[in-house]
Chain A
């Protein structure tokens, strides 16, 4: 089923990514319990919230990157029309990254941390991650260079991956000045999710749409140029919305405010582009679930990253919502909408081919999509309401932090319930992908 044998390396990447994703969600449930209930001091001393949060966020980064990397290994052979440069390097890289990740998680339990949120991994392990990333980039670039079959989609993908790797380096040093530390911390975090990762997303979604719709390459690539141009135009200077209150100059309020207000524009374009391609499709869509996921990704991307982000990066609002549960709400909706759904799209596109399946029952996949999407929306709303309450009680009325938190308990309990439902959806998706079987085509029509 797969035209190139080396595409198979994607499979273990996807499987590991899926399992880590399950673990991430379990950790998230644990965090929500920490919010809503009082835990005994003895437990807090052994496994505090901070450690659990390090688990939750690092698992997020790891599973998503493994998903992107697997997706890249799946896509590049077909796009460049050649086998991968080296499958051995690809497996070696997977072992390095997963080994480093597991070591980091175990290390957190023993307080081995750099203490920078999302970049907790100690320097020694960071260097291993860099090695893994360099192997990946080398392998991908070498494949493309050897094939000499350059396309715009490959260029975007490679550009995004190089940017991703380079920016990671800014998170490595110890900065003496806290303000400078946060300044460069955002070069990793913001420029990843609103720059490099968007390029990867743009390239992968464009490639999958190209495949499932059969729209001419020239048309797809033209709009990809416009999209990523706008993503980078708004995303790079939009980093400024993190610099409002950190001891940076006042002009960041203007720069951050204006550029981040424009950040939804490329996402709107992406949604429009996705639907236009399907309208102008030149072949029957054989795997409607992939189309559902791609469309869901585009729309949820717009809601979570675009709208939610837009609202609270305006300086006048951010003054009150900065560092509150509103950020948590935005973070969850944006990561799920833009990147978890992107990975689901890749998985459901690639898994059947990797397993040699032409038709599979799509019912469970659809349930998985709707359950996770709606549960995440409920979760986002629960955090959002808690955050608005917090902003009002703490920042407007001037009540103490814990007094405000006490008023938010109901919403944290709703978050636990939403999280449980979300977990059910995740289990369905993991089960469905791993156990996927060939089915007769007519049964799809019935489903």
Chain B
């Protein structure tokens, strides 16, 4: 290879890539308004972003997949956990995560800061991320649910109980999370219809609840899950 050819590889390579990158950057700016619903990017949301940065949340949590890898990704936290859970865990992490093997610092946010943070998560929740992260995708049922529903060992309701993430907060038979009450005796305390309504819109039954609503679930899944819980009439562990 001659030196002249080597130099032209350098110039052509660098300039072509930089040009492509800059043109696409310009185009991204044109499209990002729609993709991120920038019309809903209110002062409150921006203030929420400042709170998020002020307490350095992003060095433990990832958001849009970037940041620390120590704590859950927050891109879809608004859908996954709901507003009340977010408020609870930010205000009193030592209570909500009392039995978790990983802790979150108590940051002493003001009530207003928590409001703004929730506004921020609500806005981030609607960014068009090409359906990422996969576990929060609304387009698919988790592979685990599919596998469990397909198998004979578990009823569809039990599979949904795991697959929809109920088990992350609630336990049955001592298995599951503990940020919500254990559900071993749900069927003894509530009717099928009450349970169904509770899952669909928890706040309509219990205004104090931290539980997110599951309006996204199909009616048949909702029936199956309520049916499963109505059968739980045992003792709380």
Contact = CB atoms under 8 A, between A and B. Distances in A.
A255 B3 contact: no
Interface string B52-63: 111111111011
A45 B106 contact: yes
Given A117-B59, A120-B59, A179-B127, A222 B10 contact: no
Contacts of A320: 134
A245 B129 contact: yes
Given A48-B105, A177-B38, A225 B3 contact: yes
A320 B61 CA distance: 17
Contacts of A223: 6
B20 A255 contact: yes
A181 to B, nearest CB: 8
A405 B38 CA distance: 34
Contacts of B130: 244-245, 250, 253
Interface stretch (B95-103, B191-199, B202-210, B222-230): B95-103
A185 B65 CA distance: 13
Interface stretch (A323-331, A355-363, A429-437): A323-331
A319 B67 CA distance: 16
B163 interface: yes
A217 B10 CA distance: 18
B173 interface: no
Nearest to B101: A38
For chain B, what secondary structure do more than half of its interface residues adopt (helix, strand, loop), or is it mixed?
helix
A388 to B, nearest CB: 14
Contact of A323 (B6, B35, B133): B133
A225 to B, nearest CB: 4
Interface in A224-255: 225-226, 228-230, 232-237, 239-240, 242-253, 255
A38 B144 contact: no
A327 B143 CA distance: 23
B66 A230 contact: no
A225 B36 contact: no
Interface string A364-405: 000000000000000000000000000000111111111101
B60 A398 contact: no
A293 B21 CA distance: 34
A205 to B, nearest CB: 17
Contacts of B36: 177-179, 247
A230 B35 contact: no
B104 A44 contact: yes
B167 to A, nearest CB: 8
Given A50-B56, A397-B144, A228 B49 contact: no
**Which of B9, B17, B38 has the most chain A CB within a 10 Å cutoff?**
B17
A400 B32 contact: no
Interface residues of B, number: 77
A284 interface: no
Interface stretch (B69-77, B83-91, B110-118): B69-77
B49 A176 contact: yes
A406 B65 CA distance: 20
Nearest to B64: A246
B112 to A, nearest CB: 18
Contact of A49 (B14, B70, B133): B70
Contact of B6 (A34, A44, A225, A239): A225
Interface stretch (B23-31, B150-158, B213-221): B23-31
B82 interface: no
A400 B85 CA distance: 15
Interface residues of A, number: 81
Given A182-B64, A249-B28, A401-B73, A236 B18 contact: yes
Contacts of B24: 237, 240, 249, 251-252, 255
A325 to B, nearest CB: 6
* Interface-centre pick from A222, A240, A243 (highest chain B CB count, 10 A): A222
B165 A400 contact: yes
B180 interface: no
B59 A403 contact: no
Interface string B107-137: 0000000000000000010011110111100
Contact of A116 (B7, B28, B58, B100): B58
A324 B32 contact: no
Contact of A232 (B18, B27, B103): B18
Contact of B143 (A177, A230, A232, A398): A398
Interface string A86-126: 00000000000000000000000001011111001000000
Interface centre among A182, A251, A398, by most chain B C-beta atoms within 10 angstroms, is A398
B103 A44 contact: yes
B35 A115 contact: no
A54 interface: yes
Contacts of A324: 69
Nearest to B58: A117
Given A50-B60, A53-B59, A251-B24, A322 B13 contact: no
B235 interface: no
B69 A328 contact: yes
A384 to B, nearest CB: 13
Contact of A38 (B13, B53, B62, B103): B103
Nearest to A185: B66
A115 B56 contact: yes
B190 interface: no
A183 B27 CA distance: 13
A76 B175 CA distance: 65
A192 interface: no
B59 A50 contact: yes
A130 to B, nearest CB: 20
Given A179-B127, A229-B11, A322-B133, 14 more contacts: A35-B70, A45-B105, A115-B53, A115-B56, A116-B53, A117-B66, A223-B6, A229-B10, A244-B130, A244-B132, A249-B35, A396-B134, A398-B142, A402-B100
Pairs of residues from A and B, 10 with the lowest C-beta to C-beta distance, nearest first = A398-B142, A115-B53, A323-B65, A233-B13, A229-B10, A50-B59, A245-B132, A401-B72, A229-B13, A400-B168
